[in-house]
Structure 1
Amino acid sequence: MTYTLVGLSVAVFALQFVLPGLTQSFGYSPLYTLAEPWRMLTSAFLHSQSFFLHIAFNMYILWLIGNSLEPLLGRIRFLALYLISAFGGSVGVLLLSPVTTLVIGASGAVFGLFGALFVVQRQRGGDVRQLVILIAINAVLGFVVPNIAWQAHLGGLVAGGLAAAVLAYAPRGKNRTLVQTAGLIGVVVLLVAIGAARIWL
């Protein structure tokens, strides 16, 4: 699944050069939340055409962490984690960015993988100090480098951590998959509720 997500993102990036309107049509802005909510996910597969490092960095981290997490979680759980993290990144933008902000990129989902790896490593008793340093460095970059949506990073990090906690700490037994599924649905419902509260309150 890691390679599929990388391949899909690279294919969409190439398609952006053929169809320049993709960014405007599928990027996410809080303005479009009610009318076109799918943008909260589609935006994670678009990247800046003028800054190649945008997609290069995101795909490298996706490949690096994906190859660590996917064998532990399985393809379907890993895909769910990635999409929930991407959605969480958009919720972060909805909560913390000006309503006219337009964001694209897999950064929210990638930060979700950071958060997930932290949770899984902690649950397994691993050393997370280097990972914390890596997360901190990338978090700081979101504040000092122009045109980086730190709001998406924060939203993805929290969503990915929550989803990973559901997967990692679900009690073992014959009902483990059911508990994990219910927990992931619960995380999505929580994110939807937070987003709805931001829109309506």
Structure 2
Amino acid sequence: MTEHHFEESPQVTTCPRHPDRVTYTRCGRCGRPTCTECQVPLEVGLMCVDCRDEHRRQNKVRSGPTTAPLVTFVLIGLNILAYLLQQFIPGRWVLIHFLFNPLYVEMTGEWWRVLTSGFLHAQSSPTHLLLNMFSLWLFGRAIEPMMGRWKYLLVYVLSIVGGSLGVWIWGALTGDLNVNTVGASGAIFGLFGAFFVLTRMRGANATPILTLIAINMVFGFIMPGISWQAHLGGLATGAILTLILQQLGGNSRTPLRR
């Protein structure tokens, strides 16, 4: 006699959210019946809407809130605003009153120039601004969430000052303090230094950022009109300050490799 196997008929149930709808499927997480409208495909599989919401709440608590890089956007906006003012205020007024010249600062005591010069750019070259802002957008979005807004802002601002001091120190050593400098490059190199330190603290591969730093430093040495002194000053400031802030704050996930 031929043996026949009959599959058990699936249990007929109704969806709790839609009692008028008969369903044969259940949530892959809680096992409750759910109609096709209430099923949600998620990375962990099909689940009902209630479990979907609970899963997202738990995941949000576990991963922490997502912080938008607000400081990065504000800094980009300030640099663009400063450049627009340079273009629309006649007589190069903005450059004259806010660029950095070590000799002039020593003579006048206008110390704010060590900082304000970091928000100005070559008036006749929008490429100078665009390259710096692209780098700020690229690295700022990565660094700001890792450090927190205030630490990140402190590193950026003091890297500008560090870049100006690099120009100042070199001018004092060579006897040529009468040099004008503008640009966010000191701050950008400060972010390079910060990113290097953060990468090392997390035990990740730092070769890509080291390569980027090396290429930009060489470019600064061989191209006229580029202040490698500001680059070096900003780089050192950003790296050292980030190391201090992260160690004091206990934010490093792994010990710094030596």
Tell me the TM-score normalised to structure 2 length.
0.65
d(CA) in 2 for partners of 1:117, 1:93? 23
Question: Alpha-carbon deviations, 1:120-151, whole Å to 9, x = none?
Answer: 11011111101100000000111111110000
What's the offset of the Cα at 1:32?
3.1
Give the drift of 1:91: 0.3
Shift of 1:33: 3.0
Aligned length: 173
1:105 deviation in Å?
0.2
Matched letter for residue 184 of structure 2: A
TM-aligned CA deviation for residue 172 of structure 1: 3.1
Counterpart for residue 193 of structure 1: none
Contact 1:123/1:169, CA 8 A, preserved across alignment:
no
Q: Which amino acid in the other structure matches residue 46 of structure 1?
A: L
CA distance in 1, matches of 2:213, 2:133: 16
How far residue 59 of structure 1 moved from its aligned partner, in angstroms, is 0.5
Asked if structure 1 preserves the Cα contact closer than 8 Å seen for 2:104 and 2:178, the reply is: no
Choose from 27, 32, 37 the match for 2:104. 32
The letter for the 2-side match of 1:65 is: F
Say which of 186, 189, 201 aligns to 1:108. Answer: 186
The answer for the alignment partner of 2:222 in structure 1 is: 144
State the one-letter code of the partner of 1:131: I
Instruction: String of CA shifts for 1:87-135, please: whole Å, max 9, x gaps.
Output: 0000000011321000000000100000010011101111110110000
1:99 aligned partner, one-letter code: L
Report the counterpart of residue 163 of structure 1 in structure 2. Answer: 241
Task: Name which one, 1 or 2, has greater alpha-carbon Rg.
Answer: 2
By relative contact order (CA 8 Å, sep 6+), the higher-ranking structure is 1
- Matched-pair contact (CA < 8 Å) for 2:76–2:133: yes
Q: Distance in 2 between matches of 1:23 and 1:126?
A: 41
For residue 36 of structure 1, give the secondary structure of its aligned residue in structure 2.
Answer: coil
Asked if residue 83 in structure 1 is aligned to residue 167 in structure 2, the reply is no
Q: Is the 8 A contact 1:92 1:151 kept in 2?
A: yes
Whether 1:42 aligns to 2:116 is yes
Aligned to 2:111, what secondary structure does the other structure show?
coil
Question: For 1:35-74, what aligned pairs fall within 5 Å after superposition?
Answer: 35-74=109-148
Structure with the larger helix share: 1
What SS class does the counterpart of residue 110 from structure 2 fall into? Answer: coil
Q: What are the superposed Cα offsets for residues 54-110 of structure 1, whole Å, 9 maximum, x if unpaired?
A: 111110111110000000111111110100100000000001132100000000010
Deviation beyond 4 Å, 4+ runs, structure 1: none
Q: Work out whether residues 93 and 151 of structure 1, in 8 Å CA contact, stay in contact via their aligned partners in 2.
A: yes
Distance 1:91 1:172 in 2: 29
1-side partners of 2:250 and 2:151: how far apart? Answer: 16
Partner of 1:4: 74
Whether the 8 Å CA contact 2:73–2:137 is kept in 1: the answer is yes
Secondary structure of the equivalent of 1:63? helix
C-alpha distance in structure 2 between counterparts of 1:75 and 1:168, whole Å = 13
Superposition RMSD in Å: 1.2
Taking structure 1 as the reference length, the TM-score comes to: 0.83
1:4-38 Cα shifts (integer Å, max 9, x gaps):
00000001001101122111210001113341010
- Structure 2 runs not aligned, ≥5 long: 1-70, 252-258
